Amino acid sequence: MYEDHYGLSGRPFALTPDPRFWFDTATHRKAMAYLGYGLAQGEGFIVITGDVGAGKTTLVGHLMDTLDATRLHVIKIVSTQIEADDLLRMVAGGLDVDSDGLTKAQLLVAIERGLHATARTGRRTLLIVDEAQALPVSSLEELRMLSNFQTGGHALLQIFLLGQPEFRERLHGSDRLEQLRQRVIAMHHLDPMEREEVEPYMRHRLGVVGWEGRPHFTPDAFTAFYAGSDGVPRRLNQLAGRVLLYGAIEQLDTIDGRAVATVVADIAGDMPGVRPITVPAFVAEPAPGPEPEVAAEPEAVAETFAPEPEPQAEPLPEPEPEPKPEPEPEAEAPRPLPIAHIPPPAEPRPIRLTRPEPVDMVSPPPMPEPVATVDAAPEPEPVTEPEPVAEPEPVVAPEPVQDDLATRIAALEARVDEQDVALRRVLTLLVDWAEGEQTPDTAAQAAEG
């Protein structure tokens, strides 16, 4: 029913063992390693035990699918308290030996001949006995006797015994089985799946039947599946099948922990051995609802048991009077620059001839103004202007300043004289050039010289 609702091609969680759904859990992978080791040895007994529903039969089915039938002849027996004689007849049937009317001695001879006949075809014989815990000790002893058949130093028969945990206890607790114990070359117990293996296990089985994400399973649903099955494969399959049926009936497209817990409670009502799951434990954690209550209780306790005013609330060092940002060197009130740093007054730049235009050449620009002021009388007026800048400089004495000014004035006068001579030379050259006595290049060279 639920297959059609969710668009699946089959039932992914059927209880009948199906090798198609084989999933390598850690414990099953180890069991397969032991079985492979036993096949490589080609002799003795290998014992695999596990709880009901642990996957022993599925393990055998997977093993049979991986064996090469051209190299190994397999006889499989599912025992239900089979007595020794009946067990021998079942083995004979697996070897295509007619056991009707044969005595036990004749039956053993017939079985040995059958094993030799199989060996001549290039194959070994493997006997797998499931539910071995139901075999009486006499039957187990007959199996041990069959393992003695050999040819050319090689055993003709190898035996795998699978059973529930009590079979291991019988094997180790009976003195009558000591010889069989000594022939066991490997033994492994299948454990339930781990919590983290449940999700990949279910996704694998769903994928085999075409699952494409519908229904969607929430993380807490897988947690609930593990809690409801204890990781036992068969119980997990049973629970998952019921949950999918419940989802189809309720038209659910998302399976969460609450849905799984609801089905577990329903199964627990029919099967006393199943314990229900507490639903709230798997509901998506309710949004921060209960948090306020939890937060309120600690406050009340603090008032009762901690009269100390807000423990360590005071220690908050009074925001250290924000270390008054060290009076940022008050942008050091612009100190009066020492006289040495005062930029000298704009001195007249030396005149460079940059090839004047013809018109200007004839009537040179009125440059005499600076010359006239110097010639007139180099009075301290233009030079005394910088004096006010040398504001309060207590160290400056009046006499040295006058000497400094006098020196500057003398320098300026000398420079003005030089400029006057240069200007006159330029004017002379310009006049000569205008009259055609010299070429412009010659005039320029003469000026620079």
Q: How far is CA 9 from CA 2, 6, 246, 409, in A?
A: 10, 9, 18, 114
- Please name the amino acid found at residue 263: V
321-328 mean pLDDT: 49
Q: Provide the 3-class DSSP secondary structure of residue 14.
A: coil
For every residue of 102-115, DSSP letters joined together read --HHHHHHHHHHHH
Q: In the structure, what pLDDT confidence band is assigned to residue 346 with cuts at 50, 70 and 90?
A: very low
329-335 mean pLDDT: 46
Q: In the structure, what pLDDT confidence band is assigned to residue 371 with cuts at 50, 70 and 90?
A: very low
pLDDT, tens digit, 9 for 90 and up, residues 82-116: 888 899 999 999 999 888 888 989 999 999 999 99
Cα–Cα distance measured from residue 59 to residue 162, given in angstroms and rounded to the nearest whole number: 10
Cα–Cα distance measured from residue 415 to residue 402, given in angstroms and rounded to the nearest whole number: 20
For every residue of 260-309, DSSP letters joined together read HHHHHHHHHHH-TTSPP--GGGGS----SSSHHHHHHHHHHHHHHH--SS
Q: In the structure, what pLDDT confidence band is assigned to residue 207 with cuts at 50, 70 and 90?
A: very high
3-state helix vs strand vs coil in the chain, percent to 5: 55, 10, 35
Q: 400: which residues sit within 8 A by CB, 6+ positions away?
A: none
Cα–Cα distance measured from residue 163 to residue 250, given in angstroms and rounded to the nearest whole number: 40
Q: Can you give the pTM of this predicted structure?
A: 0.58
Cα–Cα distance measured from residue 221 to residue 259, given in angstroms and rounded to the nearest whole number: 8
> What pLDDT shows up at residue 296?
43
Please state the φ and ψ torsions of residue 328, each to the nearest 5 degrees: -30, 115
pLDDT, tens digit, 9 for 90 and up, residues 347-367: 445 444 444 444 444 444 454
pLDDT, tens digit, 9 for 90 and up, residues 379-437: 444 444 445 544 545 544 445 545 677 788 888 888 888 888 888 888 878 877 777 65
147-168 mean pLDDT: 89
How many residues can be counted in the chain?
Answer: 449
Q: 26: which residues sit within 8 A by CB, 6+ positions away?
A: 194, 197
- In this predicted structure, the answer to whether residue 213 has a pLDDT above a threshold of 50 is yes
- In this predicted structure, the answer to whether residue 36 has a pLDDT above a threshold of 60 is yes
For every residue of 394-441, DSSP letters joined together read TT--HHHHHHHHHHHHHHHHHHHHHHHHHHHHHHHHHHHHHTTSS-HH
Cα–Cα distance measured from residue 75 to residue 129, given in angstroms and rounded to the nearest whole number: 8
Q: How far is CA 431 from CA 61, 360, 364, 428, in A?
A: 124, 12, 10, 5
Count other Cβ atoms within 10 Å, centred on residue 112: 19
Cα–Cα distance measured from residue 37 to residue 158, given in angstroms and rounded to the nearest whole number: 12
**Residue 156 burial (C-beta neighbours within 10 Å; 0-12, 13-18, 19+):** buried
Lowest mean pLDDT among 250-259, 268-277, 429-438: 268-277
Lowest mean pLDDT among 4-8, 237-241, 314-318: 314-318
Cα–Cα distance measured from residue 178 to residue 176, given in angstroms and rounded to the nearest whole number: 6
> What pLDDT shows up at residue 150?
87
User: Which tokens is 271 given?
Assistant: 């099967």
